[in-house]
Each structure stands twice: as structure tokens, then as C-alpha cells.
A and B are shown apart, each in its own frame.
Chain A
Amino acid sequence: MRSPIPVLDCHGHIGFHPDFPAYKADAESMLAVMDLMNIEKLAITSTLACYNDCPRGNAEIETVLRRHPDRFLGYVTVNPNPPGQGVEELERWSSFHHPPLIKLHPGLHKYPVHGEHYKPIWDYANEHEAIVLVHTWDSDPNCGPLLFPQIARTHPRARILLGHAGVTWRGYMQAVEAAKVAPNLFLDLAGSQHHRLILERCVDLIGAERILFGSDMPFLEASMTLAHVLTARIPDAGKEQILRHNFLSLLSR
């Protein structure tokens, strides 16, 4: 199974995970899978940074970007704790991409995305017109989609990708509700629950231009999300937007 157009994937990782064995998770193995499915570029965040250590994790990203500059884009992953480290990391790795790609994981870092310690990071994102990928989950007090309209409105120049779009059917509906009221919010399709009809519903409610393809490779299997998009009952032009053009547009701005 292969995408007929080159895919730009907004949600990937480098590294392992604590709760189950990782398979074929090194950059070269991932490149082989990307070639298999016609994923031209994958934007990666450090899994080490998401779980444990941002400075060391972001250094891993730099290594991969240096080896494969044409195939990977790098998020700078930041933690609101300790306060101040986030902006230091963003400045340290400012060469990764312009505009900056920032990854937040309020779920694993156990701190609310609208909390005080995140404020300097959101201000940085707004000032630099960053693309900010944030892990979200249905109704989660730290990262539920409904927390984002206020953040998006007060940081209108930041482009915020609601990672996993809230995951569940209800989470998706929350993400749609958020995106309806804030034009700088976008839905990322990476996730393990590909509900029947959900993509058609989202396209109907907010338009394909607000939805991006994400795989979560090498955490989740890219082919499940690719197959979902390609078989969705939406116009082909919408599929092309989701698989490529929407992320390209954000990256190019």
C-alpha cells in the first residue's frame, strides 16, 4: 500500500517507549517504511524528551537531522518544568527549522497546557509564528481539546496542531469544536482509534484544509492512518490537502 502522492507527515518520533517493545525504530528502518508508503518527510520529536529529558532528547533530533536533512523535520520538545528550560531549549535549537516546530506533551509532563509555566513557551511560539504540535486527549485536564481556543486566541500567530485530535470520537468532536472558533487550530490524525465516519464528519464540519496527516511513527503504524485517509468518503482534493498540502503550507509560511 502506497500513497499516490508524496506525503508530508506532521507527527513522528525518534526513540523508544517504556511500555512496550519498539520495532524497527531506528532512523534507517523508518526511512525504509517511509519509502514503502511514499512518505517524503516526517517531522519528528524526541521520545526521550517526551518522557524524561528534553535537552538530551533534542540533541538526538539534531543528530538525525544532520544525517538525513532531506527526509526529517525536527520539533524542539519542551517541558514546562523546570520553568525557564523550555525557552532555553527553543533558543538552543533554533536552527532546526524556520518557523520553529515545537512539541508539547502536557500529558506525559503532567502540567496543564494553559498553566503559568507554559506561558513563556506560548509567547515564544506566537512571536516566531511557530508550528506547535501538542498531544491532546479527550477531556484531559492537562490537554483536552477544549482548553485550546483560549490559547489560540491569545496567541494568534502560533499555528497549533491538536495532536491525535483528542483520540476518541468525543475527543475528535471536542477538537472540531475548538477548531471552529480558532482559525489557528488544526487537527492531526495520528492515533490508534480510527473510527468509521470520523474523518468524513470532520471534513464536513471544519474542511479538509484544517486537517493534517500524522502517523506517530515509530510509535504507531503509519499505514493505518494512511489507509483511513485514502479510503475516506471525501473528495480527492481533500485527501491531497490532508496528506501533503496543509502541512506544506504551514511550513512555508
Chain B
Amino acid sequence: MRDDRKSRTRAEERLVPDGVALSLQEAAAWDLFDVNVRVGPSGVHGELALEPAELLQEMDDFYIRSALVSHWAAEEYDAAIGDEALARIAEPRFTPAWGILPEASFIDALAVCKPLAVRITPGLRQHSFSLGRWCAGPMFEYLQDRSIVSLISRTDITWDEVAALLENFPRLPLVLLDTGYRADRYLFPLLDRFPSLHFDTATYLAHRQLESVVEQRGSGQLLFGSRLPLFTPASAIGVLASARIAEPDKRAIAGDNLRRLLAQAKARTGVQA
């Protein structure tokens, strides 16, 4: 006979103690799909970095079923080496968000993997390239043509660069990560103009901000992100759990929107669902 106690996750055991109890448990019903996760050793965040098994345990603890995962090495060191490390993980709960560079040879090599998602790191202290057509035009044509989910942290580019990128590639499924809570005066005009733009919840943390944006604009362009392994997922889950919005909106943010984007990429790249 199955031992129910042993089959519970550590989260269920920890979150329902005798004293202070918490109900993030409603997240168990959301089929959480985290858009903002990195794995592997980090030269900057070594203390917090997680190897794949540790990351899975952390996801279990917070009811996160799936994650779009990139490798720290692809961001901090070499995109190809990071992608190789990511490929070796081969964990079915992880969808790779590959590192990518604008060189044609890099794109050709990456195409063999039939990528569904990439994490673009163009910053001066990362891979140092412009998002303009003159520099990365073919790369973005490739991503746009295949509806590949394209993650960029807002901390790596300016709002004007986001606008210019979307003006050049309006069908690119761009996911802006780490917008911060001071984003709205920049973000809302872009969301109005570009339905292909999405953003994640990891740092969208002002008072009643998520709830209000859903009330005013709907939930279609919001994706759940935790920023694991740096932040505790509790924060982003807590914000979603406490939002006074309809359950279908919560599920859309929690994972359905990202699954929809990935399904589009699968359809365009010929990857079997």
C-alpha cells in the first residue's frame, strides 16, 4: 500500500504544521509553469545556485510542475558551453531556454536542437551585441519566423530598445523578464501596441499591481516567473494567490499563457507536442 505521508512533498509537510500554517496549496491546482529559472553553477550567485536535482526539489516544494530553464554558464560565460550543459540535463520538466548569439554559425548550430525558447543576454557585461537589425537582424528573423519564445531581462536592455525591437519584429513572442514594479508607464503603451509582448511576475510586486493590471487589461500577457534560484518562489506565488481575480485568470498567468506560446513555437518548428 502506498504511504500517503511519504508521498507528500516536503512543501505539504512544511506548510501545514501545527502552529503557523500557510495556504499556498491552492497553487497545486494551477499547473505552475515558471518562465524565469536558471540552473547550474553561477560565478556571481554561487551560494544560491542550484544543480538540476536541487532545482527540482525546490520546484516540488512550491508546486511548480514545469520550468523554462536556462543555464548560468550560457549567460555568464559562453553561450555554446552553457547550451551544451543544458542539453546534458535532459529533464522532462525543464523546457530549455537556450543561450543564443547573433552569429549565423551559432544560429545554424542551435537550429539542430529545434529550440522552442531562448534567453537573450545582449548586455555589455554579457555577450555585447545590439538588438538592432544591423547587428542581430537575422537572429530575430529566425526567432520571429518560428515563433520561438524569446526571453530578455529588462535589466539588460533599455525600454527604448524594447520598443525598437518590437517595431522591427512585431510578431516576435518576446517575454520581458524582471520588469520591476516601476514598469507601468513604459510597459502599458508597449503592451497596447504589441500583442506579442509578454512579461513575467517575478519582480512585478507593487501593492495590488498584478490584480489591477488584470482588472484593467486582462491576464493574457502575464506569465508566472519566480527568478529561481535567486528569489524564493513564495513571493511570486503569494502575490498570485492573494490577487482578487478570477480563477481562469490565475491559471492563465500560472502556466496556460506560457503553454500557449510554446504550443505556437512547436507548431512552427515541427516539434512534436
Contacts and interface: CB of A to CB of B under 8 A. Distances in A.
B49 to A, nearest CB: 10
B238 A223 contact: yes
Contacts of A25: 207
Interface in A228-253: 228, 230-231, 233, 236-237, 239-240, 243
B208 interface: yes
B232 A221 contact: no
A230 B22 contact: yes
B48 A19 contact: no
Interface string A1-44: 11111000000000000011111110001000100110000000
A11 to B, nearest CB: 12
Contacts of B205: 192, 220-221, 224
Number of chain B interface residues as a range: 35 or more
Among A193, A194, A233, A243: residue with most chain B CB under 10 A: A194
Contacts of A218: 207-208
Given A20-B183, A20-B185, A224-B205, A239 B238 contact: no
Interface string B199-230: 00001011111111000000000000000111
Contact of A236 (B20, B23, B231, B236): B20
B181 interface: yes
Contacts of B180: 192
A161 interface: no
B237 A227 contact: yes
A218 B206 CA distance: 8
A195 B23 contact: no
A222 interface: yes
A231 B62 CA distance: 9
Given A20-B185, A21-B185, A240-B19, A194 B207 contact: no
Contact of A231 (B24, B185, B239): B24
Contact of A219 (B21, B206, B228): B206
Contacts of A230: 15, 20-22, 24, 234
A131 interface: no
Interface in A175-221: 192-197, 216-221
B207 A24 contact: yes
Contact of B239 (A3, A197, A221, A233): A221
B235 A194 contact: yes
26 contacts: A1-B242, A3-B20, A5-B20, A20-B181, A20-B183, A24-B211, A24-B212, A36-B242, A192-B205, A195-B230, A196-B48, A196-B229, A196-B231, A197-B48, A197-B232, A216-B207, A220-B206, A222-B242, A225-B235, A227-B22, A227-B234, A227-B238, A230-B234, A231-B232, A233-B14, A236-B19
Interface of A: 1-5, 19-25, 29, 33, 36-37, 169, 192-197, 216-228, 230-231, 233, 236-237, 239-240, 243
Give the 10 A-B residue pairs with the shortest CB-CB distance, closest first: A227-B238, A236-B19, A230-B22, A223-B242, A224-B235, A218-B207, A227-B234, A23-B212, A1-B241, A231-B234
Interface of B: 11, 14-15, 17-24, 26, 47-48, 58, 62, 180-185, 203, 205-212, 228-232, 234-239, 241-242, 244
